[in-house]
């Protein structure tokens, strides 16, 4: 069985909202036309926007204290895919799924390809996992993986990443994302330089196994699980590693992986400038790596990041084409609802950045008119582009109001019948 949202239900849910949407769209069209912008051109661009869904985001998240699973949770990658199919059917901007191995490992990758084809889904970046030991693992990652002092542990981590590339090829993916939790918990525990040398040596072996059309994305994170030092703790170590490895290695920016108040949009600009921006893990954060829903706390920061991205797009910046992906933990919401909301929130930032008056902004920057430069950005940010997002979804066959249509479909209750609670882990971060 393939669980889906009935197209008739989407059409029915849309019919009640269509008149109001058209009125709002026309009114926004008049406002944008005054600024010399064609709303239909922006809507066409909005329709091209895609952001990948992380397979693990479809399950209820948790903290190290507890996890409170909901009903009808997906129990394996096939069921996770079904949920991703629902998200894309309603949102129409999430046609890619990013798997995490070995969590999503299957015996038959052809079967998995068949399942994604049936749901009109494609595969995004492959995430390797060397931050936990597998049940039959001989050489532990307790003291690190790619940078472990033990060659056996390092070799185990290298072999896993190379296997991930092999599995990724079966899914037509072209990116490997490497995030490691390697680091130390005590001052003096680790020799910083030697640990980084070991990491780079291991990464070079994985890089050597990359097909010519693949990229390797390195993800930095300030802390956790190592709380004193982390091997790739910031974008500095990240870009150094990417430069050391070669042109196929780029940096990935997870919004939650920085110290509070860090100017992430400037990091993004630097990575663009040096052709090292590989991609994003979008989420929001108040304290640390909270993995809150994208744009739920800092929508202006998310917009400012897209201001840099759209600027690079308009300038046809060489080597620019980052992967967009969500990476969130949904502890108290239905993951499908959070993922739909977040995808739309990131798409909103993109669309808002599209309506920035770039010529005027450039003039204010050259003339050092700080107030007007800032107001130019604010003007785009405070323009409500919701009608463009809804129209883009509708024109692609999605829902004007994805959450309302999803709730009307009663999807969770329906799939819960086929997905009994397995009573698995109720604690820990997923």
Give which of 86, 77, 278 is closest to 167, Cα–Cα.
Answer: 77
Count of CB atoms situated within 10 Å of the CB of 343:
27
327: contact with Mn ion by CB under 5 A: yes
Binding mask 217-246 for ligand PSV (x = CB under 6 A): --x-x-------------------------
* Residue from 167, 179, 199, 306 binding ligand PSV (CB under 6 A): 179
* Residues near Mn ion (CB under 5 A), total: 3
CA–CA dist 413, 405 (Å, integer): 14
Q: Are 324 and 342 a contacting pair, CB within 8 Å?
A: no
CB nearer to ligand PSV: pick between 79 and 289: 289
CB nearer to ligand PSV: pick between 281 and 393: 281
DSSP 8-state class, residue 57: G
Q: Give the Å distances, CA to CA, from 345 to 299, 302, 327.
A: 8, 9, 14
Q: At closest approach, how far in Å is the CB of 262 from Mn ion?
A: 16
182: contact with ligand PSV by CB under 6 A: no
254: contact with Mn ion by CB under 5 A: yes
Judged by CB under 6 A, the chain residues 328 through 387 that form the site for ligand PSV are none
Q: Which listed option, ligand PSV, Mn ion, none, makes contact with residue 393 (CB within 5 to 8 Å by class)? A: none
CA–CA dist 285, 255 (Å, integer): 8
CA–CA dist 65, 406 (Å, integer): 30
* Residue from 82, 289, 293, 334 binding ligand PSV (CB under 6 A): 289
CA–CA dist 20, 112 (Å, integer): 41
127: contact with ligand PSV by CB under 6 A: yes
Binding mask 240-279 for ligand PSV (x = CB under 6 A): --------------x-------------------------
CB nearer to ligand PSV: pick between 9 and 430: 430
* Residue from 96, 250, 276, 281 binding ligand PSV (CB under 6 A): 281
Reduced 3-state DSSP string for 305-331: HHHHHHHHHHCCCCCCCCECEECCCEC
CB nearer to ligand PSV: pick between 89 and 327: 327
CA–CA dist 219, 387 (Å, integer): 34
Q: Are 161 and 206 a contacting pair, CB within 8 Å?
A: yes
Residue 138, burial from CB neighbour count under 10 angstroms (0-12, 13-18, 19+) = exposed
CB nearer to ligand PSV: pick between 92 and 238: 238
CA 310 to chain centre: 18
CB nearer to ligand PSV: pick between 284 and 289: 289
281: contact with Mn ion by CB under 5 A: yes
Which residues of this chain interact with ligand PSV, rule CB under 6 A? 56, 127, 179, 219, 221, 254, 281, 289, 327
Which residues of this chain interact with Mn ion, rule CB under 5 A? 254, 281, 327
């Amino acid at each position: 069985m393939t669980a889906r949202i009935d197209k008739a239900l989407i059409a029915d849910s849309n019919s009640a909202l269509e008149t109001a949407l058209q009125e709002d769209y026309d009114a926004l069209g008049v406002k944008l036309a005054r600024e010399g912008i064609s709303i239909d051109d922006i809507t066409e661009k909005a329709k091209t926007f895609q952001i990948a869904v992380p397979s693990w985001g479809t399950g209820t998240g948790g903290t190290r204290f507890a996890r409170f699973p909901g009903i009808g949770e997906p129990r394996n990658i096939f069921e996770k895919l079904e949920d991703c199919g629902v998200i894309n059917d309603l949102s129409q901007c999430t046609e890619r799924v990013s798997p995490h191995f070995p969590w999503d490992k299957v015996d038959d990758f052809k079967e998995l390809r068949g399942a994604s084809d049936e749901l009109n889904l494609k595969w995004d970046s492959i995430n390797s996992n060397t931050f936990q030991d597998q049940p039959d693992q001989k050489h532990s990652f307790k003291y690190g993986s790619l940078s472990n002092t033990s060659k056996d542990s390092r070799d185990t981590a290298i072999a896993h990443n190379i296997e991930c590339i092999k599995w990724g090829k079966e899914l037509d993916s072209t990116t490997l994302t490497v995030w490691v939790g390697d680091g130390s918990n005590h001052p003096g525990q680790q020799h910083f330089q030697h640990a980084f040398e070991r990491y780079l040596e291991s990464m070079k072996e994985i890089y050597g196994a990359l097909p010519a059309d693949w990229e390797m994305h390195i993800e930095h994170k300030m802390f956790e699980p190592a709380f004193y030092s982390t091997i790739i703790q910031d974008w500095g170590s990240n870009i150094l590693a990417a430069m050391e490895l070669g042109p196929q290695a780029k940096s990935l920016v997870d919004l939650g992986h920085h110290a509070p108040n860090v100017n992430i949009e400037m990091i993004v600009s630097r990575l663009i400038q040096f052709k090292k921006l590989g991609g994003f893990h979008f989420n929001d954060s108040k304290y640390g790596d909270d993995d809150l829903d994208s744009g739920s706390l800092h929508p202006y920061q998310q917009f400012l990041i897209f201001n840099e991205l759209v600027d690079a797009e308009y300038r046809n910046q060489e080597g620019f084409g980052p992967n967009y992906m969500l990476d969130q933990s949904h502890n108290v919401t239905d993951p499908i609802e959070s993922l739909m909301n977040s995808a739309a929130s990131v798409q909103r930032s993109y669309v808002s950045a599209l309506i920035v008056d770039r010529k005027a902004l450039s003039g204010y920057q050259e003339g050092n008119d700080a107030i007007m430069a800032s107001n130019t950005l604010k003007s785009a940010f405070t323009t409500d582009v919701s009608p463009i997002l809804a129209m883009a979804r509708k024109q692609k066959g999605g829902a004007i109001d994805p959450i309302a249509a999803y709730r009307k479909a009663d999807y969770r209750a329906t799939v819960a019948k086929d997905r009994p609670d397995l009573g698995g882990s109720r604690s820990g971060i997923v």
